[in-house]
Structure 1
Amino acid sequence: MRASLFDLTLTRPDGATVLSAVSAEFGPGRHGVVGANGAGKSTLIRALAGLVTPTCGTARIDGRLAYLPQQPEVGLTVAATLGVEATVDALRRIEAGSVEVADFETVGDDWDVVGMTGAMLGRLGLGHLALDRDMATLSGGEHVLLALAGRLLTEPDVLLLDEPTNNLDRGARTRLLDVVRTFPGVLVVASHDRELLAVVDDIIEVRAGAVRWFGGPYDTYAEIVAAEQESAERAVRDAEGELRSQRRELADTQVKLARRERYGKKMSEQKREPKIVMGNRKRAAQVSAGKLRGDQQQDVERARDQLTEAESQVRDDREIHVDLPATAVPSTRVVLTMTDVQLAHTGRTIDLRIDGPERIALVGPNGSGKTTLLRTALGELEPEAGEVRLRVPARHLPQRMDVLDTTLTIVTNVRRTAPTADETEIRGQLARFLFRARRADQVVSTLSGGELLRATLATVLLAEPAPQLLVLDEPTNNLDLASITHLVEALRSYRGALLVVSHDRAFLDDLELTRSIEM
């Protein structure tokens, strides 16, 4: 059993290269695929699955293949989603007395299909679901687990997973991790989930169209990359120093040559030497000066090339350092109270009080009312009963990151939410979000996923009045690892209260929570 890529190149219709002459071989074990949003993680998985046609090169699977996309298609019923509907229906007809040959052929050797599917559903925490259950009544997380169960029932040798933990609650994530740990064949998973990447045997990074292999789980990969980045940044500093030195030498040479030229001109005007001698001396001086200028200009260009090469080795995941004093909330201030609040459509009654800069996580299974609580707290959804009092300015960081006008620049979007702020002040703050100088004038529609996150964070956190309560709903879904790091850095600088829904345990640990509330 094996999954392989041989000299595979993939280009988009616009001509952009996603993967360039990639060769990789995945043997038995657990392999994690990482990379920035848009780097080509999903493309690599789809190439292995044979779902995209390469520009050149080949992909090969030795063994039975199962592929779980980010948003798997589901049938009308649980049985249809598991791929056993026809077999179960035929078995029921036989049990009711059917002697049709077609029914027996449909069942084949799968006489224990109900028992097998029941065992698989139980393993994934879905044992309560009847095979004829309508899929429309289930949550997005249950859709993912059922689609995974259907793949596992085929007993694949090679299992490909693309961001499988998105939309999974804590219990579902735990069961999926168990599947990953115990899968006996070749498992390749593209993910930004550090908890999932902690249980793989090695990491494959997709970057700039190439792949690179790192032995060990995510922590080992992160340590290696951090050490390399420290060395790369040191090389940039050295190259910058060399370029400054060469530029100074070129400037000094220009001054010396100018002085020599003025001296020669003076001697010529005074006619202290024969005309032919002065002419020869002038020509020799011009040749010498030209050669000297040329040599030193080449030294400057060489130093500039060295700096460009050094900068290319530095990843665009620098740290965000912001100072947001206006978001600070005194510890004695009551931020939010929800008294005997009955959440709409859930039947849940909630009492909640947030004091000062508390950092609170809402955790619990999908469908327990977490998002409804957030919308109720913000006044976006009326409760069926009870009282909600929001006592400070609040802002919402939505999962879809759709708060910006995509036709405007970053700086214009920020100015719209902070109309009285000085332009210089806005640009200074945007520089802290890594949008320095002309980068702040990029149109939002041209931004990458990571840039869009940073621009959204800047717009939300720099708004007027400054938000003293920030509400986040599954903010790490679909973010790459560098973007999650930037989100954590910005939230650590935030001095107000946080109310966050997330199933990402590593992310919640990084936020240094005050408390968690089980829904």
Structure 2
Amino acid sequence: MSASITISNLSWSTPDGRTLFSNLDLGFGAERAGFVGRNGIGKSTLLKLISGDLTSQSGKVSVNGNLGILRQAVEVSPDGTIADLFGATENLAILRRAEAGEATGEELAVVDWTLEPRIAGALGRVGLNTEHETPLAALSGGQRTRASLAVLVFSEPDFLLLDEPTNNLDRNGRRAVIDLLAGWRVGAIVVSHDRELLEIMDTIVELTSLGATRYGGNWSHYRERKALELAAAQHDVAGAERRVAEVARGAQATAERQARRDQAGRRKSAKGGMPRIALGGLKDRSEGTSGENARLAERRRAQAIEAAAAAREPIEILQPLSVVIPSTGLSANKTVLKVDAVTAGYEPDWPIIRDLSFAVTGPERLAVSGPNGCGKTTLLAIITGKLQPWSGAVRIMVDYAMLDQRVSLLDPSISIRDNFRRINPQANENACRAALARFMFRADAALQVVSSLSGGQLLRAGLACVLAGSTPPSLLILDEPTNHLDIDSIEAVEAGLRSYDGALLIVSHDEAFLENIGTSRSLELSPEKPD
């Protein structure tokens, strides 16, 4: 029997009772399926239910085949090596003894002479050219992710389950993962907001509050189909709402005609000449007609409203993230940032950045790129004063804000609302709530304590507190801003940053994001080696 994953009548609710999905039915074979949807909609939860990390509350997940699972967090032993990650340390030791002629007969019977080239091949498929003795502690976070993916490839699973596999990877790492999946010929289920990665999927599964919908084809095909479906559904809704209005107008016209007839009858009776019994009969008929008209109008109105509700059902009613940024007033000729012959690092005689000079003038958009470990985060620490350069100078000539990956400018112990008031002390309560609402923190959502937020919510809160005030900073520094945002939020942030008239300094490996916000130039860093 060929490998397959079948999801039948699956339901899941969070501990606080919020339903993520109900009566879900899906099936997967030898295909690459991309899961998309808003943050918090249940993509990672569904992946955990498939992997067995969670037990279904109702329904069933059937897996026929072997799973290889890559999770967002890669746990690393402080003294482990790549060989430990592959579970091959003892077997490699036997191989060394066999090569030296020191292996026992029992060891020679089980020695795997193909082990080293197979490990090297798996590492090469994810673009990681390193020895199996390399300590895991010596790898960057992105390199550890790639090493973990190599372990999955090495195990030859029937299905890969990947949760945001390109997060925290540099451009080469992202390309290696994309190339690996482009050539993958068995099953893969990928949770991702990486639009470039989603372009190589065979099918897209969209999770919404209405359930799961499968779209054959890649990301671009999904977007085209989605746009057509939404346009058709919106057309149906508009027609149904017109019918509601027509029914209301018809009922009003009928009521007005009946009122005019009743008024004419009253005038006639006031003139006299009609027997009392006849007058009573006219009154009863009038009241009966009015009542029947009202009941008929109510039935038609209820039917029209029901039809309108049915037309709306295919459309998930969401309030989109609205990023509206006030003007900074930054002059086109103003020198914003100047880095002059800077050399810096953390260990003596091992500079991470050497003799670096550049400037940002006016509303420039500068992307800082380079492989993991080349010094991008170090550069931001130098610019913001967290790390002092060994030589050279850094000057920022305007007000600025820095959003790192932890959004550390926010106080984790207080609410989003209190952080906004702290960062924007001139804003009154109404302005505060209106600004936060534009970033989807409405009513009690604005009172959430920052430490309780998910990664996507955290960045959204940081953007709200920094950009939604009356006077945003003239320089905005962003460190991998798209790592934890869903695609709808990324596109909304892109739209907002396109309208931002300040200077941008951005560390990002998301080429689509950099292109969409109009990056004007790039600064490529290269890793320094010890002398």
Q: TM-score, normalised by structure 1?
A: 0.86
- The reply on whether 1:332 has 2:333 as its aligned counterpart is yes
Which residues of 2 match residues 310-459 of structure 1 at below 5 A? Answer: 310-315=311-316, 324-345=325-346, 346-349=351-354, 350-400=356-406, 414=420, 416-421=422-427, 439=442, 442-445=445-448, 456-459=462-465
User: Which residue matches 2:72?
Assistant: 70
Query: For the structure 1 residues 110 and 84, does the alpha-carbon distance in structure 2 shift closer, same or farther, using more than 3 Å as the test?
Result: same
Comparing 304-313 with 61-70, which one deviates more in the overlay?
Answer: 304-313
Residues 239-298 of structure 1: CA deviation (Å, up to 9, x unaligned): 444334444444555556666677777778887754444443333323322222222233
Q: What is the letter of the counterpart of residue 214 of structure 1?
A: Y
Q: 1:426 to 1:305 in 2, by over 3 A?
A: farther
Cα offset, 1:210, TM superposition: 2.9
C-alpha distance 374-240 of structure 1, shift in aligned 2 (>3 A): farther
3-state DSSP class of the match of 1:347? strand
Call closer, same or farther: CA 1:375–1:249 in 2, change over 3 Å: farther
C-alpha distance in 2 between matches for 1:280 and 1:34: 68
SS for the counterpart of 1:91 is helix
CA distance in 2, matches of 1:472, 1:479: 14
- For the 8 Å contact 1:203–1:214, the answer to whether it is kept is yes
Return the offset for 1:451: 6.8
1:393·1:469 contact (CA, 8 Å) conserved in 2?
yes
Bigger drift between 181-190 and 10-19 goes to 10-19
Contact 1:8 1:55 (C-alpha < 8 Å) held by counterparts: no
Q: CA deviation at 1:195?
A: 0.7
Structure 2 counterpart of 1:49: 51
Listed as ranges, the gaps of 5+ residues in structure 2 are 526-531
8 A Cα contact 1:232 1:313, kept in partner: yes
Change (3 A) 1:186 1:332: same
CA distance in 2, matches of 1:70, 1:187: 16
Assess, with a 3 A threshold, how the Cα gap between structure 1 residues 118 and 454 changes in structure 2: closer, same or farther: closer
Which residue is 1:165 aligned to? 166
In 2: Cα distance, 1:81 partner to 1:48 partner:
23
- Aligned equivalents of 2:423 and 2:40: distance in 1? 29
Report the counterpart of residue 17 of structure 1 in structure 2: 19
Q: Confirm or deny: 8 A CA contact 2:321 2:440 kept in the other structure.
A: yes
CA contact under 8 A between 1:327 and 1:468: conserved in structure 2? yes
Range 52-61 or range 423-432, more displaced: 423-432
For 1:153-189, what per-residue CA distance to the aligned partner results, in whole angstroms no more than 9, with x for missing partners? 1122222222111111111111111211122322222
1: CA distance, partners of 2:323 / 2:58:
46
- Corresponding residue number in structure 1 for 2:34: 32
Amino acid at match of 1:285: S
User: For the structure 1 residues 154 and 323, does the alpha-carbon distance in structure 2 shift closer, same or farther, using more than 3 Å as the test?
Assistant: closer
Aligned to 2:144: 143
SS in 1 for 2:34: strand
Which piece of structure 1 moves more, 346-355 or 274-283? 274-283
1:218 partner amino acid: W
Q: How many Å apart are 1:431 and its aligned residue?
A: 6.9
Find out whether 1:494 has 2:494 as its counterpart: no
Say whether residues 1:81 and 2:85 are aligned partners.
yes
Task: Verify the 8 A CA contact 1:37 1:449 in the aligned structure 2.
Answer: no
> Shift in Å at residue 61 of structure 1?
3.1
Q: Is the 8 A contact 2:95 2:112 kept in 1?
A: no
Match of residue 529 from structure 2: none
* Cα distance change on mapping 1:266 and 1:491 into 2, 3 Å: same
Report the CA distance between 1:14 and its aligned residue: 3.8
Residue by residue over 1:425-447, the C-alpha shift from the partner in whole angstroms, topping out at 9 and shown as x without a partner, is 66776676577xxx466435399
Mapped contact 1:364–1:518 kept (Cα < 8 A)? yes
- Flag the 1:102–1:64 CA change in 2: closer, same or farther, 3 A: farther
Q: CA deviation at 1:25?
A: 2.7
Post-superposition shift, 1:146?
A: 0.8
What one-letter code is carried by the residue in structure 2 that aligns with 1:466? P
Q: In the superposition, relative to structure 1, how do residues 306 and 453 fare at CA in structure 2: closer, same or farther (>3 Å)?
A: farther
Q: Which moved more, 1:417-426 or 1:20-29?
A: 417-426
Q: In the TM superposition, what is the alpha-carbon distance from 1:505 to its structure 2 partner? A: 1.4
Amino acid at match of 2:64: D
Aligned with residue 462 of structure 1, among 455, 461, 468: 468
CA distance in 1, matches of 2:46, 2:424: 42
Task: Give the Cα–Cα distance (whole angstroms) in 1 for the partners of residues 369 and 194 of structure 2.
Answer: 17
Aligned residue in 2 for 1:113: 115
Indicate if the aligned counterparts of 1:473 and 1:502 stay in contact, CA closer than 8 A: yes
After superposition, where does 1:187-206 map in structure 2 within 5 Å? 187-206=188-207
Mapped partners of 1:387, 1:230: distance in 2: 55
Give the match's secondary structure for 1:58.
strand
Question: In 2, are the aligned partners of 1:42 and 1:162 still within 8 Å (CA)?
Answer: yes
Aligned residue for 2:327, secondary structure, equals: helix
Distance 1:303 1:440, change over 3 A: farther
Amino acid paired to 1:393? D
Q: What secondary structure does 2:352 align onto? A: coil
Higher mean Cα deviation, 156-165 or 424-433?
424-433
- Supply the AA of the counterpart residue of 2:448: S
Identity of aligned residues (%): 38
1:443 match: secondary structure? helix
Give deviations 1:290-332, integer Å, cap 9, x for gaps.
2222222333333333443444433456766665452242210
In angstroms, what is the RMSD of aligned CA positions?
3.4
Query: Secondary structure of 1:388's match?
Result: strand
SS of equivalent residue, structure 2 residue 342: strand
3-state DSSP of counterpart to 2:357: strand
- How far apart, in 1, do the equivalents of 2:259 and 2:47 lie? 63
